[in-house]
Amino acid sequence: MSGVPKADWIVGVDIGGTNLNVGVIPVGGGPPIAFRTQPTRAQRGAKFVVDRVVKMIKDAIREVMQENGCGLEDFAGVGIGSPGPLDRSTGTVISTPNLGWRNFPLRDLIQNAVGLPATLDNDANAATYGEWWMGAGRDARTLVGVTLGTGIGGGIVFDGELYHGASDAAAEIGHMTIDSTGRKCNCGNYGCLEAYASGPAIAARAIEGLESDTESILLELAGDPENITAELVSEAVVKGDGYATEVINDTAKFLGVGLANLINILNPEVVVVFGGVARAGDHLFVPLRAEVRRRAFRVAEEACRIVPSELGGKAGVIGSVACFKKEMYGAV
Amino acid sequence: MSGVPKADWIVGVDIGGTNLNVGVIPVGGGPPIAFRTQPTRAQRGAKFVVDRVVKMIKDAIREVMQENGCGLEDFAGVGIGSPGPLDRSTGTVISTPNLGWRNFPLRDLIQNAVGLPATLDNDANAATYGEWWMGAGRDARTLVGVTLGTGIGGGIVFDGELYHGASDAAAEIGHMTIDSTGRKCNCGNYGCLEAYASGPAIAARAIEGLESDTESILLELAGDPENITAELVSEAVVKGDGYATEVINDTAKFLGVGLANLINILNPEVVVVFGGVARAGDHLFVPLRAEVRRRAFRVAEEACRIVPSELGGKAGVIGSVACFKKEMYGAV
């Protein structure tokens, strides 16, 4: 690493539609300390969210300074992960449907308020880079991350570098078509992976499939069918619920089509799956791997491990720090 | 370029299911000379094909030596492109359904017979690298090639390097699922891009759609419906045939789904389309670009040119030389 400043710490920020996560990581790597989470409350506006993030960053820095007897000069900067599409060179979020931002200079607002240099990257890219740095993809040269949340995002690591593409839009795998005449997606098209395997899509399929005589603990867990979520489906599966198992088996098939496409195109060593639905564990991963085996090229499928995230909710913070290191020092 | 030998020429070999192409290129680049084509006749066995390729290489070398008054020592080696999957490090073709080879040490057989060092890469990779070196992707850092032939193949160039993946299987885009419950593919799965947009798939859709009262010059061109090919469909489109135009419009939609997926995942600067069907020109490319615009992320779609191959039937020979240079000298 050339040009590494004489700092000990880097702040990682993970901005999501639901939660904001902030933590501090030693420059040389290690688990985040002074980690904190707060709800995003995007409906209260961009200024509210940025003020909240800045306060979380300052609180985390103060906590680390107090515990380690150091000062602000011991912090190299702030790595930020945010939903996109975004422009890394200007640090601007181009648009985020979930947060309602357009051409929003997020990086500089945080940089100026905190008084430390900052970098901005896509949230799914960051989470993927986190898993490559300190998680499930530690030993991999080529890694693909798939984030299953309100939407579906992705990240690609080649030879230890995040791949961003020609306009920072690479790895937008949620809108990969898997069924060109299939389910309508929020984006207006038909048959996107996101229309089948995002959290809301899993819940929607679970609700649609319920019949008056369906026996399932899902209804007890949810109270009302409208309260069914992908997390509740995963919980019911783990408890042995037959109906929820069907829903997850279907999810595994749809997701398996998407992962097989990624594996045929990118031939990665590891695919890391993020998100609440991964909590279903082998109930998801066993049929998922079977569908991939059925659809992907054998030499590509055999070269690839499909695993759940190891870093979980901290992947974004850890990965944003990795992005900061890469952008500022040229290496992680 | 470090370690460049004091040679003037490199031989390029493009092995296809239908034709064998051989040509010679100056080390510094330029159009192939002593170019020759012969039918593959794979059904006559592997030894026949290798003997024929070796003779073509020796004839091409002799022609260049005579015209330039040089000797074998002025040739650096032979770059070979072959259908895969294959193992570049051992120079072995793992299996090729079209040629009937299994674990076949193609590189060393040619190397030993010709008496020059040789390299082996996938034919679609080579064609894509050729377009990056001297064709439609000359100025691009990130380029995706899509070869529409008997099957559908692909190649990916990142930052001036071919991307091979973890086991030399990257860019196998023909078996990307675009309709998970759709048309049966030769590979046994359903809804692969190849089942809609390969040459035989286009011909099959054209034949299926014919009714007793369909008016189309396709039937005149083909004589018998069974003789309809993708090339004849393209020819009929260029002549203004309405039915053939419908078939090409459908092809553009299916191919558009596949290209939109590639563009969402890889965010390339250029997608190069190879193959006879590209001869339909704007009849294909206008609806193709429209379908991509409908399905791909705007920032990714706007960053990407979708263009036909410039090198045509010589892309494989030119690209195999580029692969040889990259592998032997570390740069093209």
- Residue B253 is assigned to a structural domain of this protein: yes
CB burial of residue B240 (10 Å; 0-12, 13-18, 19+)? exposed
A166/B267 Cβ within 8 A: yes
How far apart (Å, rounded) are the C-alpha atoms in residues A66 and B64?
76
Cα pseudo-dihedral A243, A248, A251, A255, rounded to 10: -170
B167/A300 Cβ within 8 A: yes
Angle value at C-alpha B129, between B250 and B332, nearest 5 degrees: 165
| DSSP letter (8 states) at residue B193 | T
CATH of the domain at B246: 3.30.420.40
Query: B-contacting residues of A 97-156, CB under 8 Å?
Result: 141-142, 154, 156
For the residues A291-308, what does the mean pLDDT come to? 96
For the residues A77-87, what does the mean pLDDT come to? 95
For the residues A258-269, what does the mean pLDDT come to? 98
- Residue B3 is assigned to a structural domain of this protein: no
- Residue A2 is assigned to a structural domain of this protein: no
Task: Report the pLDDT value the prediction gives residue B84, as an integer from 0 to 100.
Answer: 86
Q: Check if the beta carbon of residue B12 is closer than 8 Å to that of residue B317.
A: yes
Does residue A216 have a pLDDT over 70?
Answer: yes
Cα pseudo-dihedral B193, A184, B263, A101, rounded to 10: -170
Q: Does A92 share its domain with A176?
A: no
Provide φ and ψ at B330, rounded to 5°: 85, 0
| Nearest chain A CA: its distance from B187 CA (Å) | 9
For the residues A16-43, what does the mean pLDDT come to? 95
Q: At what angle do helices B242-266 and B230-238 cross, to 10 degrees?
A: 110
Q: Does B45 share its domain with B144?
A: no
Please, which pLDDT band fits residue A3 given cuts at 50, 70 and 90? low
Task: Report the pLDDT value the prediction gives residue B97, as an integer from 0 to 100.
Answer: 77
Total number of domains in chain B: 2
What is the rounded average pLDDT for all residues in chain B?
94
Q: Does A75 share its domain with A205?
A: no
How far apart (Å, rounded) are the C-alpha atoms in residues B319 and B135?
10
β A9-15/A19-26 pair status: antiparallel
Which pLDDT tens digit goes with each residue over B94-150?
988 778 899 999 999 999 999 999 999 999 999 999 999 999 999 899 999 999 998
Q: Does B35 share its domain with B117?
A: yes
The answer, for B165 touching chain A at a CB cutoff of 8 Å, is yes
The answer, for B286 touching chain A at a CB cutoff of 8 Å, is no
For the residues B241-245, what does the mean pLDDT come to? 96
Which three-class secondary structure state does DSSP give residue B305?
Answer: strand
Q: Does B39 share its domain with B154?
A: no
- Residue A314 is assigned to a structural domain of this protein: no
Interface test with B, best of A92, A152, A177 (most B CBs within 10 A): A177
Q: Does A283 share its domain with A201?
A: yes
Q: Which residues of A263-287 are buried (b: 16+ CB within 10 A; e: fewer)?
A: bbbbbbbbbbbbbbbbbbeebbbeb
A297/B172 Cβ within 8 A: yes
Q: Does A57 share its domain with A73?
A: yes
- Residue A4 is assigned to a structural domain of this protein: no
Task: Report H helices in chain B.
Answer: 46-68, 106-114, 123-134, 194-197, 199-209, 217-222, 230-238, 242-266, 282-295, 298-302, 315-329
Please, which pLDDT band fits residue B184 given cuts at 50, 70 and 90? very high
Provide φ and ψ at B162, rounded to 5°: -65, 135
Please, which pLDDT band fits residue B188 given cuts at 50, 70 and 90? confident
| Nearest chain B CA: its distance from A306 CA (Å) | 14
- Residue A300 is assigned to a structural domain of this protein: yes
Q: Does A261 share its domain with A165?
A: yes
Does residue A7 have a pLDDT over 90?
Answer: no
Residues of B in contact with A296 (CB under 8 A): 175
Query: B-contacting residues of A 244-283, CB under 8 Å?
Result: 253-254, 257, 260-262, 264-269
ipTM above threshold 0.90:
yes
Domain that holds residue B155: 138-309
Q: Does A183 share its domain with A104?
A: no
Q: Does A165 share its domain with A290?
A: yes
Identify which of A165, A179, A304 has the shortest CB distance to residue B142.
Answer: A165
- Residue B256 is assigned to a structural domain of this protein: yes
How far apart (Å, rounded) are the C-alpha atoms in residues A249 and A230?
13
How far apart (Å, rounded) are the C-alpha atoms in residues A19 and A83?
12
A191/B166 Cβ within 8 A: no
**Strand arrangement of the beta sheet that strand B101-104 belongs to:** B86-87, B92-96, B101-104
Which pLDDT tens digit goes with each residue over A159-214?
999 999 999 999 999 999 999 999 999 888 999 999 999 999 999 999 999 988 88
Q: Does B42 share its domain with B153?
A: no
Which pLDDT tens digit goes with each residue over B72-100?
999 999 999 999 899 999 999 998 877 88
**Chain A to chain B, count of Cβ pairs less than 8 Å apart?**
151
Q: Among B268, B129, B261, B197, which Cα is nearest to A260's?
A: B261
Residues 6+ apart with CB under 8 A from B282: none
Q: Among B77, B79, B161, B84, which Cα is nearest to B120's?
A: B79
- Residue A70 is assigned to a structural domain of this protein: yes
Q: Among A329, A313, A321, A310, which Cα is nearest to A121's?
A: A321
Identity of residue A156: I
Q: Does B109 share its domain with B254?
A: no
Task: Report the pLDDT value the prediction gives residue B4, as an integer from 0 to 100.
Answer: 56
Task: Report the pLDDT value the prediction gives residue B1, as an integer from 0 to 100.
Answer: 47
Identity of residue A89: S
Compute CA B169 distance to the chain's CA centroid, rounded to the nearest angstrom: 15
